[in-house]
């Protein structure tokens, strides 16, 4: 009965995740309980069997699916993260875990969402979307392929992710490899945003908006070291005396800092402690960064939006639930030879 239930529930989860999708579906499950056509034990195996445009669904098991070097455009969907801390979002609270992920030449147009990434994330192709993932002990490199080095990329979207404290988002441009047209929005970034070896001039058209940078205690020195960027509606939590933002050729407005990094011009606020901004306390790891009642970040962003990861058009999504239908409640009973099941689903825009 346990194996039947596991297979049935996995199939139901897959149907919900892939509703209205026309591409081929590749299932990845390493629990030992699921087998069949288009079911693979590792992420790389599913990738190698896939065609351009396919969807790879990583079923939650809490066992790593290993590393991936992606060389074709694919959509990779996991289950979300911090699910035990945020009950009622998924019926299965386990995570879809990967090792290092490299988007290499040929993977332009790929998307990864809802995954826990435990090693390097390297974006070495254009038009890649990374959204609603948990980077656990993992640095995100934009414009980098480990086997090549710096790579020119454009059209990167990095949004609604949670990056663990101490691990930055790293623009890996060089004097010859440009990084352009990048949106870094609505993330919680423990390690800040920086640029390789102080090379700033080959960055262009960078939007950094509605992020929280640093930890809740305000003791993390994470900040911004970029150029040619629009930097707005962010919260920099660091309260130390040394500023962690250099203006350079950036336009910055409506940001809040725990020190004097942004000054007070253009709607910026300074010397605001994180304890006065966020709910903190007993909330979940990511839910703790929601704005508390009376927060000085409420309605203080551009056009009156909230400052921080939960503001704007596409606010941070608690637990990284991917924007596909999910099952959040399931019950079953056996009556004679009949299995009766009740399934509750919701959409996640």
In 3D space, the residue among 201, 182, 256, 254 whose CA is nearest the CA of residue 223 turns out to be 256
Model confidence at 97, pLDDT cuts 50, 70, 90, reads very high
Task: Give the model's pLDDT for residue 341.
Answer: 56
Check whether 187 has a pLDDT greater than 60: yes
Partners of 349 in beta bridges:
none
The residue count of the chain comes to 349
User: Phi/psi at 68 (nearest 5 deg)?
Assistant: -140, 135
- pLDDT at 300 > cutoff 80: yes
pLDDT of residue 334: 64
> Given a cut of 80, is residue 312 above it in pLDDT?
yes
Q: What is the pLDDT of residues 200-243, one digit of tens each?
A: 999 999 999 999 999 999 999 999 899 999 999 999 999 999 88
Is it the case that residue 2 has pLDDT exceeding 70?
no
Task: List the one residue out of 233, 190, 211 whose CA is nearest residue 316.
Answer: 211
From residue 322, alpha-carbon distances to 132, 283, 325 in Å are 7, 21, 8
Q: Is the pLDDT of residue 66 over 60?
A: yes
Query: Tokens in use for 71?
Result: 């060389």
Residue 98, number of CB atoms within 10 A of its CB: 27
The position carrying tokens 């009642």 is 293
Residue 325 has pLDDT above 80, yes or no: no
Q: How confident is the model at residue 191 (pLDDT cuts 50, 70, 90)?
A: very high
User: In degrees to the nearest 10, what's the CA dihedral of 273, 229, 223, 214?
Assistant: 60
Q: How far apart are CA 250 and CA 200, in angstroms?
A: 11
User: What are the residue ranges spanned by the domains of the chain?
Assistant: 68-74+85-346
Does the pLDDT at position 50 exceed 60? yes
Residue 248, classed as helix, strand or coil, is coil
Q: Name residues whose C-beta falls within 8 Å of residue 131's C-beta, 6 or more positions apart in sequence.
A: 111, 112, 113, 157, 158, 159, 160, 161
Distances, alpha carbon 104 to alpha carbons 162, 171, 284, in Å: 23, 16, 34
- The pLDDT > 70 percentage for the chain reads 86
Q: Is 333 or 65 the better-scoring residue by pLDDT? A: 65
- pLDDT single digits (tens) 104-146: 999 999 999 999 999 999 999 999 999 999 999 999 999 999 9
Average pLDDT score, the chain:
90
Q: What's the whole-number mean pLDDT along residues 164-192? A: 96
State the virtual CA torsion across 130, 315, 26, 96 in degrees, nearest 10.
80
Q: Which of 282, 191, 196 is nearest to 238 (CA)?
A: 191
Looking at per-residue pLDDT, the higher value among 343 and 165 belongs to 165
pLDDT of residue 8: 43
Name the one residue in this structure whose structure tokens are 């933002």.
Answer: 245
Percentage of the chain modeled with pLDDT above 90: 79
């Amino acid at each position: 009965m346990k194996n039947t239930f596991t297979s049935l529930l996995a199939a139901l989860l897959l149907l919900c995740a892939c509703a209205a999708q026309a591409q081929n579906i590749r299932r990845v499950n390493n629990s030992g309980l699921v087998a069949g056509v288009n079911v693979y034990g590792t992420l790389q195996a599913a990738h190698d069997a896939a065609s351009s445009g396919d969807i790879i669904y990583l079923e939650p098991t809490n066992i790593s699916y290993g590393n991936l070097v992606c060389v074709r455009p694919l959509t990779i969907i996991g289950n979300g993260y911090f699910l035990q801390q945020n009950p009622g979002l998924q019926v299965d609270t386990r995570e879809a875990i990967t090792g290092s992920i490299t988007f290499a030449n040929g993977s332009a147009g790929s998307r990864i969402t809802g995954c826990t990434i435990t090693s390097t994330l390297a974006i070495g192709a254009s038009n890649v979307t990374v959204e609603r993932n948990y980077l656990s002990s993992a640095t995100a490199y934009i414009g980098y392929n480990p086997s090549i080095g710096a790579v020119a990329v454009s059209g990167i979207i990095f949004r609604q992710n949670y990056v663990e404290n101490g691990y930055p988002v790293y623009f890996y441009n060089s004097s010859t490899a440009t990084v352009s047209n990048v949106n870094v929005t609505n993330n919680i970034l423990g390690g800040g945003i920086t640029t390789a070896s102080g090379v700033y001039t080959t960055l262009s058209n960078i939007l950094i908006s509605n992020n929280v940078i640093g930890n809740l205690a305000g003791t993390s020195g994470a900040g911004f070291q970029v150029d040619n960027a629009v930097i707005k509606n962010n919260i920099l939590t660091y309260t130390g005396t040394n500023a962690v933002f250099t203006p350079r050729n950036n336009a910055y407005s409506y940001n809040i800092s725990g020190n004097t990094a942004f000054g007070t011009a253009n709607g910026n606020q300074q010397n605001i402690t994180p304890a006065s901004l966020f709910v903190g306390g007993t909330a979940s790891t990511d839910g703790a960064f929601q704005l508390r009642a009376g927060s000085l970040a409420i309605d203080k962003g551009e056009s009156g939006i909230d400052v921080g990861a939960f503001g704007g058009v596409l606010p941070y999504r608690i637990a990284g639930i991917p924007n596909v239908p999910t099952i959040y409640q399931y019950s079953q009973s056996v009556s004679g030879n009949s299995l009766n099941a009740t399934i509750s689903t919701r959409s996640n825009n």
